[in-house]
Amino acid sequence: MNNSEELSNPSTSNLATPGEYRPLIIAGLVLGLGQGGFFDGIIFHQLLQWHHMFSSLTTDMTVAGMEINTLGDGLFHLADWLFTLTGIFLLWRAGTRAKVAHSGQAFFGALLMGAGLFNLVEGVIDHHILGIHHLKPGPHQLLWDLGFLGSGALLLVIGWVLIESARKAG
């Protein structure tokens, strides 16, 4: 098919189809994972100081314990940074593809889904399976941990609704 046929035939134009949101959604999910981790680390580890990466395994009340927890927090932030860099690369790559839809709504939905996925995976693994820390140790720590999981589920649902809405509109 030559260029003039492509211009006159809408089925071969650069209009995005729902399946062409995938690279944008994958980039948003990966970026959302990194940003969800940074939010957790900055807010809960550093500003509120509710927990550190290994605070259920070793105290943060001694210099040695704080060193181990700081190392854990640093490795955690390194993983967040790597997710973020990978997400930026995937977003750049998606932006260079002619047939990928450019939808802020779908991308924002994917970001929310990535952050929600972070909360669910990190919450289940670190808080419940490994027990290396809890969101807010002490009285009602199970409620805090379940609230963290609930926030992840809520972000996943909101993100999914935004993506589906963008697909239908596109």
At 16-58, the pLDDT tens digits run 454 589 999 999 999 999 999 999 999 999 999 999 999 998 8
Q: Does residue 11 carry a pLDDT above 50? A: no
User: Sign of the CA dihedral 49, 30, 90, 159?
Assistant: negative
Lowest mean pLDDT among 2-11, 100-109, 142-151, 152-161: 2-11
Percentage of the chain modeled with pLDDT above 70: 89
d(CA 49, CA 80): 18
pLDDT score for 2: 45
Cα distances (angstroms) measured from residue 57 to each of 72, 80, 116, 133:
11, 22, 26, 7
d(CA 123, CA 28): 20
Residue in 64, 85, 72 with CA at minimum distance from that of residue 46: 72
Question: pLDDT grade, residue 12 (50/70/90)?
Answer: very low
At 95-147, the pLDDT tens digits run 998 888 889 999 999 999 999 999 999 999 999 999 999 999 999 999 999 99
pTM, two decimals, is 0.84
